[in-house]
Amino acid sequence: MYYLIRIYGALILVFVFSCRSEAKLENSSSAIDYSKLELPDKPNILWIVAEDLSPYIPTYGDSTVVTPNISRLAEEGIVYTNFYSPSGVCAPSRAAIATGTYPTRIGAQHMRTGPWFRFSTTDRALENYAKHGRLAYEALPETNVHMLSTYLRKHGYYCSNNPKEDYQFRCEIAAWDESSFQAHYKNRKPGQPFYAIFNLDNTHESMIWRKAKDSLLVDENLNVPVPPYLPNTPIALQDIRRNYSNIIEMDNRVGEILKELEQTGELENTIIFWYTDHGGPLPRQKRTVYQSGIHVPMIVRFPNKQFAGQIDDQLLSFIDLKPTVMSLLGIELPEKVDGKAWLGKHANADERQYLFAAADRFDNETDKIRAVFNKNFKLIKYYNLNQAYYLPVKYRETMPIMRELLRLRDKDSLNDIQKQWFRKTKDSIEFFDLVNDPDEIHNLANKPEYQEQIQTMHAELDQWIKDTNDKGKLLEKDYLETIWPDGNQPKTEDPKVQVVNEKIQLMSLIKGANIGYQWADSEETLTNNWEIYVEPIKIQTGKILFVMAHKIGYKTSDIIEKTF
């Protein structure tokens, strides 16, 4: 039963959507004519992002619990069966989402580079980071790399983020109109289009143990599928049931967001993306480049239910989200993106052949793993061969099911499949048949019949590492020295302020910097919500103009004050 649930691609289309008509079963990516998509002028964009969740929902074939709100989105939208994160953990994943680039290109592949959260980053937080022996630095993208929301704000969108900001760098100044636990698109100006993100932590790994004493939303004896790499013991089953209970709770939250959207009259003016930030929360899922760590569900609902109930099986990645949203809104795509737009004015109709993923440091545990895969096969390359597959990440070991695994390991009570993760040395390469072995249990790297495919994919992986200038080629401390010489973070130069034709012009001398401004009575009344500079601004008498410049990965400039 478990294998049936996990198989995707051609097989999943039959299993998942058996309740649909035979005609709809044929609506794979090759049959969807996206050129027929009709959108309002400047449609809203709404992202509902669940955390730590593989495709363990009815839409993808797992009927353990019912998710009526996500199922509604699936019936009214397009289900994507080959959508992936380039990392099995959140901060690198969000770096890819925000910038449209692979985390390894911009030095964002480690978990984490620092506590860069607007609502929690303090000197004390940085000191605590250092106390645990972790480097705290900001990843440094190439010049002229900006966050998706920065582009959208410049095109008149109200951008709200509720509330995750773990991009591996400080949030770009003026990237958001609001970014907080209270942020909401309802706070925009009348008639203003919006781009809103709601990050739902109900299914986060930590909720497995934090809610251990809470009542379950499922039967306490619910029959749940157990992956072959996990134990089937009372403790393990309890955590798996908790995970499904959390899925129900997350689905309820999705329903609340949809209800709000309907109440505001914006449902049919909005493109809704529901997806998750990486794979599942359980052991050998999160933090890995196995399917359980990087294969995620995604559903997109267009206004008026266009393409309702259809399926797209093309290979897509988080790096594609930024260019696709920009393309849907008719915004010219930047050069500095690894992703492709699969929808909209600038869509690239060519289906890619391969995707890539990486795993490096997690908290204080460092590894180096790269992966290349298509719909049928995956090749994983390991660099630290004398290191165990399993990393003793303390955060993960808080989970009862993880402690149960370790207990059984120490008693030598694991079966051969469960023992695989605890091997003390690594094979240099793992090669898996994803269709017939979705749990990636049987390494085929030494099978003669796969050698040609392995060589092809190995060459693709090496070329990707070269083309993206993978920062994993350097030790983390050596990479830090290249961007922060002698430990000194570069600082954005102060912006220039001048008046031309009775309007204020702002300019930065740092290429790729963004400029934010506020009118306020005093510095004490400034907020975190900076206006983004797009064009010369009108003078406001009786107010003080505050201006700041910021390049991602740099310190912000000083705040400049001007009175007119």
CA dihedral defined by 218, 163, 99, 395, rounded to 10 degrees?
A: -60
Sheet holding 537-538, edge to edge: 496-500, 503-507, 537-538
User: Has 90 been annotated as catalytic?
Assistant: yes
Q: Nearest to residue 6, comparing CAs of 226, 318, 205?
A: 226
Residue 199 falls in which region: left (phi positive, over 0), alpha (psi -120 to 50) or beta: beta
List, in sequence order, the alpha helices (H) in 77-187. 90-99, 123-131, 148-154
- H-helix segments, 364-450: 400-410, 416-419
CA separation for the pair 46, 195 (Å, rounded): 6
| 406 Cβ neighbours under 8 A, 6+ residues apart | 397
Rg from Cα positions in the chain: 24
Upstream peptide bond of 112 is cis (omega within 30 degrees of 0): yes
Q: CA 495, 121, 168: angle at the middle one, nearest 5? A: 75
Q: Mind spelling out the 3-state secondary structure of 129-159?
A: HHHCCCCCCCCCCCCCCCCHHHHHHHCCCEE
Report the alpha-carbon distance of residue 137 to residue 559 in Å, rounded. Answer: 22
| Separation CA 135–CA 277 (nearest Å) | 24
How far apart are alpha carbons 151 and 532 in whole angstroms? 10
User: What is the DSSP annotation of 264-289?
Assistant: TT-GGGEEEEEEESSS-SSTTTTTSS
141 within 8 A of 99, measured Cβ to Cβ: yes
- Active-site residue (options: 19, 90, 159, 171): 90
- HSE toward the beta carbon, residue 544, CA cutoff 13 A: 12
In this structure, are strands 310-312 and 78-84 parallel, antiparallel, or unpaired? parallel
Instruction: Specify the pairing of strand 270-276 against strand 295-301.
Output: antiparallel
**Cβ-contact 46, 271 below 8 angstroms:** yes
Distance of CA 489 to the CA centre of its chain: 26
Contact in structure between 344 and 327 (CB atoms under 8 Å): yes
Task: Give the separation between CA 227 and CA 240, rounded to whole angstroms.
Answer: 10
Residue 53: strand, helix, or coil: coil
Q: Which residues are catalytic?
A: 90
